[in-house]
Amino acid sequence: MAATTKTTGIGAALRRKEDLRLITGRGEFTDDFREAGQLYIYFLRSPHAHARIIKIDATEALALPGVKSVLTGKELLADGIKPLPHHVWALHPADIAMPNVDGSETFMAPHHAIAVDKARHVGEIVAMVVATSVALAKDAAELIHVEYDILPSVTNTWDTVKQDAAVVWDENGSNVCGDVETGSREDTNAAFAKAAHVARIETWVQRVTGVPMEPRAALAVFDEGTGRVTLTAGSGGSVRLKYDLAHMLGMKSEDVRIIMKDVGGNFGTRGMIYAEFCLVGWAARRLKTPVKWTAERSESFQSDYQARDLAVTAELALDKDGKFLAMRGSNIGNAGAHTSNFSPLQKGVEIMTSIYNIPTACFRARPVVSNTLPTRPYRSAGRPEVMFVMERLIDIAAREFGFDRVELRRKNLLHKEDLPFKNPFGMIYDNGDYHAVMEQVLELGDWTGFEARRAEAKARGKLRGIGVANYVDTATGVPRERAEITVRPDGQVDVIIGTISQGQGHETSFAQLATEFLHVPEDKVNIITGDTDVVKVGGGTHSGRGMRLASIVIWKASNEIIAKGKRIAALMAKADPAQVTFEKGHFHAAGQSLSLFDVARAASERNDLPDDLRAPLYAMSDETVNEAAFPYGAHVCEVEIDPALGTVEIARYSTVDDVGRAVNPMIIHGQTHGGIAQGVGQALMEEIVYDRQSGQLMTGSFMDYTMPRADNFPFFDAGFAEIPCTTHPLGIRPAGEGGTTPALGVTMNAVVDALRDFGVTHMDMPATPEKVWRAIHRKA
């Protein structure tokens, strides 16, 4: 664990620069913006899971004074608004390709911003009302008469592939959009044939939703003079949203501007353009008036991209000594009503064997559609699901075949000498010390002292259980990032970076990078994001790419600043540029000491500089990073169950994540804490429920979707390791998703362990009090 006393630069647990405005109520979230004369939008959404739209009559609605427009799929097509530009598979060169076994293309269907023929999930937009107030727009929506022909629906993931399932897209003939096999079937089956033991699991990693606390909102302004649309909205990144919005509206990208100030959480949920963002922009352009939309929470539940939802059958083959021989199985990823994003399926299946030395494996992977909200990556997309499967399989094997859970992991975990290691799917893990990290967390969680705690709990009538889980996380994402650094003569350093924070604290941690490299105090470094007229290139936050890529481009741009500065300092001091040094923020040349800002001033004032050194003192780094990173770690969770109530209390929770090199330990711990809560939330309480018959969304508010609250957790024992990453020039590994990735598996391992005397060998998530109570009392 890093015990750091640094107060500045990389490694300092610096308090955050962004806090002051946020704790005083001066944050700038999307709904805080307003424009004179703005109109308000309300979306009429389908109450049906699957229905043909026969007729929409808005006559009465339009007759209400103050109602300016009602737009439907008909006008959408007439105006040439294009479908959402989804890329279903991750295209990073380090992620595996997902070709269909039969050579056919992955099925994709147009996702229109308003349903044009059929509504395919509850909440799909059917009409947009624009009026002078939200209340009036809502009143008007109630006067729109939509005639539906209700169709049979399918929502449950296992049901989607059945022969008699309702078909969401007739054009495809079935709900299966792809059928991929990865790994080696022949080798795997051969290994299974000689296995002494085979552990099996069939599980559904349930659907959840991301719930960033700021409901989505958008404000669009159309400038008739310039023909530009400016959209203020929170997203995973501003640059991609600009291009996607321009594409959908049929505009040149330079005619679209995105403004993004404070964004109230993301977790992947905000990672892609939404229908509403396009529609708000379209309405502003069409009506030539500013328009605004703000989601209510119940609307978020039926319009935010949802997440997880993976149905898995898997087997693990072991020899008589517990050595893992092979793994095989099938994953079905429920993409929802639209072919929007299959990458969680891909990013899961490619690391199905985790960081264990499993020589061969074979998995089938099928993305399917259903009459549910579209899904997309959410906090460590795809990986928590498969780590859950692997870690549960190990515990199942240990229990069934009489191995110690920890010894079984020790026996099969890859050793540092094995790295880099190519897993059976072709992913090449970089470096690390998986054993050391697991041992570290076992110690932190006092694994060896557990049985005494179990006995003590038993004496109090409680059931105590413990679990351990390892994980690995493929960090890829959009490979390109850019930083532009300007040293201003007035003593400030501006850093324009293409990746915006939604709570991760970039204004502080990115400033620490500039401080480290340029020796300028953090409070003189301005991190500039969130306006596409300023920020031209950048990939946004996802797949552990924020710090990983920002650090590279800020470092390279800083190096160029120093190189330029040395040449300017040499001219100023009439010295040989090769003799100029840069130390503690000063250039030392021929006995003179010139600050970075002296040099920046000279660059702007002197007229004898070569062209490339003229003001401002500026450098840009634009990098495409095609290597993946593989953050990993291990968690230990301890639960206590009240057998009378079935309630599960997290008694202890310990983590060790290898972050390579910690830029701001305080922020990293914060990321871990929040990640744990999201993982434990999925394990114990969260679930998006659809009625299996009608397809109705049953969890439409915080009244029926259980959110983790303060009293669901103890203080966490969060540690980290710093083994420099060999595929990153500064050794940094991503740290944002480690809290979540193993949390599902480790929590459920602990729950199942607590219930071991009741014949429980597995439980699907979430382990609600009802489910736990039934498991106990069925046997008792």
Partner 1 sequence: MPQVTMQVNGRSVSGEVEARTLLVQFLREHLELTGTHVGCDTTQCGCCTVHVDGVGIKSCTMLALACEGANITTIEGLAKGDVLHPMQSAFSEHHGLQCGFCTPGMIMSAIDMVNRKGHALDETTVRKELEGNICRCTGYHNIVKAVQAGAAAMKGA
Give the residues lining the site for partner 1 (CB under 8 A): 15-16, 18-20, 22-27, 29, 31-32, 135, 210-215, 262-265, 267, 296-298, 502-505, 666-667, 669-670, 672-678, 701-703, 707-711, 713, 715-716, 739
Q: For residues 397 and 677, which CB has a smaller minimum distance to partner 1 in the complex?
A: 677
Report helix angle 405-412 to 383-401, nearest 10.
Answer: 120
Residue 574 three-state SS: coil
Q: For residues 59 and 133, which CB has a smaller minimum distance to partner 1 in the complex?
A: 133
* Residue 261 beta carbon to partner 1: minimum distance, rounded to whole angstroms: 11
* Residue 32 beta carbon to partner 1: minimum distance, rounded to whole angstroms: 4
Do residues 603 and 617 make contact, with C-beta atoms less than 8 angstroms apart? yes
In residues, how long is the chain? Answer: 780
Nearest in space to 41 (alpha carbons), one of 232, 292, 229, 282: 292
Residue 670 three-state SS: helix
Cis peptide before 479 (omega within 30 of 0): no
* Residue 630 beta carbon to partner 1: minimum distance, rounded to whole angstroms: 24
Q: For residues 426 and 714, which CB has a smaller minimum distance to partner 1 in the complex?
A: 714
CB atoms within 10 A of CB 60: 13
* Residue 432 beta carbon to partner 1: minimum distance, rounded to whole angstroms: 25
Do residues 108 and 79 make contact, with C-beta atoms less than 8 angstroms apart? no
* Residue 11 beta carbon to partner 1: minimum distance, rounded to whole angstroms: 16
Q: For residues 261 and 435, which CB has a smaller minimum distance to partner 1 in the complex?
A: 261
Q: How far is CA 623 from the centre of its chain?
A: 22
Q: For residues 91 and 707, which CB has a smaller minimum distance to partner 1 in the complex?
A: 707
Q: For residues 32 and 642, which CB has a smaller minimum distance to partner 1 in the complex?
A: 32
What is the Cα–Cα distance from 107 to 577, expressed in whole angstroms?
59
* Residue 707 beta carbon to partner 1: minimum distance, rounded to whole angstroms: 5
Q: Tokens representing 314?
A: 């898997």
* Residue 262 beta carbon to partner 1: minimum distance, rounded to whole angstroms: 6
* Residue 478 beta carbon to partner 1: minimum distance, rounded to whole angstroms: 21
Three-state SS for 511-545 is HHHHHHHHCCCHHHEEEECCECCCCCCCCCCCCCC
Q: What sign does the CA torsion over 656, 662, 666, 672 have? A: negative
* Residue 192 beta carbon to partner 1: minimum distance, rounded to whole angstroms: 40
Q: For residues 37 and 715, which CB has a smaller minimum distance to partner 1 in the complex?
A: 715
φ/ψ of 599, rounded to 5, equals: -65, -40
* Residue 362 beta carbon to partner 1: minimum distance, rounded to whole angstroms: 37
- Burial class of residue 139 in the structure, from the number of CB atoms within 10 Å of its CB (0-12 exposed, 13-18 middle, 19+ buried): middle
Ranges of beta strands (E only) in 356-419 are: 360-368
Side-chain-side CA neighbours of 610 within 13 Å: the count stands at: 8
Q: What sign does the CA torsion over 733, 718, 721, 413 have? A: negative
Q: For residues 503 and 766, which CB has a smaller minimum distance to partner 1 in the complex?
A: 503
Q: For residues 205 and 263, which CB has a smaller minimum distance to partner 1 in the complex?
A: 263
* Residue 734 beta carbon to partner 1: minimum distance, rounded to whole angstroms: 16
What is the Cα–Cα distance from 348 to 471, expressed in whole angstroms?
12
Rg (CA), the chain: 27
Nearest in space to 234 (alpha carbons), one of 32, 422, 377: 32
Q: For residues 225 and 715, which CB has a smaller minimum distance to partner 1 in the complex?
A: 715
Q: For residues 135 and 590, which CB has a smaller minimum distance to partner 1 in the complex?
A: 135
Do residues 260 and 273 make contact, with C-beta atoms less than 8 angstroms apart? no
Q: What sign does the CA torsion over 571, 572, 575, 579 have? A: negative
What is the Cα–Cα distance from 777 to 780, expressed in whole angstroms?
5
Q: For residues 3 and 703, which CB has a smaller minimum distance to partner 1 in the complex?
A: 703
- Sorted by sequence, the CB contacts under 8 Å of residue 517 that are 6+ apart come out as 554, 555, 558, 559, 562
* Residue 713 beta carbon to partner 1: minimum distance, rounded to whole angstroms: 6
* Residue 179 beta carbon to partner 1: minimum distance, rounded to whole angstroms: 36
What is the Cα–Cα distance from 182 to 386, expressed in whole angstroms?
15
Over the range 237-258, which residues count as b (16 or more CB within 10 Å of their CB) and which as e? bbbbbbebbbbbbebeeeebbb
* Residue 25 beta carbon to partner 1: minimum distance, rounded to whole angstroms: 2
Do residues 738 and 660 make contact, with C-beta atoms less than 8 angstroms apart? no
Q: For residues 34 and 194, which CB has a smaller minimum distance to partner 1 in the complex?
A: 34
Nearest in space to 73 (alpha carbons), one of 29, 107, 120: 120
* Residue 267 beta carbon to partner 1: minimum distance, rounded to whole angstroms: 7
Q: Helix count (H) and strand count (E) of the chain?
A: 20, 28
Q: For residues 233 and 575, which CB has a smaller minimum distance to partner 1 in the complex?
A: 233
DSSP codes of every residue in 469-514: EEEE--B-S--EEEEEEEE-TTS-EEEEES---SSS-HHHHHHHHH
CB atoms within 10 A of CB 72: 21
* Residue 529 beta carbon to partner 1: minimum distance, rounded to whole angstroms: 14
What is the Cα–Cα distance from 152 to 46, expressed in whole angstroms?
15
Alpha-carbon separation of residue 249 from 38, 438, 531 (angstroms): 20, 51, 19
* Residue 731 beta carbon to partner 1: minimum distance, rounded to whole angstroms: 24
* Residue 555 beta carbon to partner 1: minimum distance, rounded to whole angstroms: 25
Q: For residues 503 and 546, which CB has a smaller minimum distance to partner 1 in the complex?
A: 503
Q: For residues 556 and 635, which CB has a smaller minimum distance to partner 1 in the complex?
A: 635
Q: For residues 133 and 448, which CB has a smaller minimum distance to partner 1 in the complex?
A: 133
Q: For residues 297 and 323, which CB has a smaller minimum distance to partner 1 in the complex?
A: 297
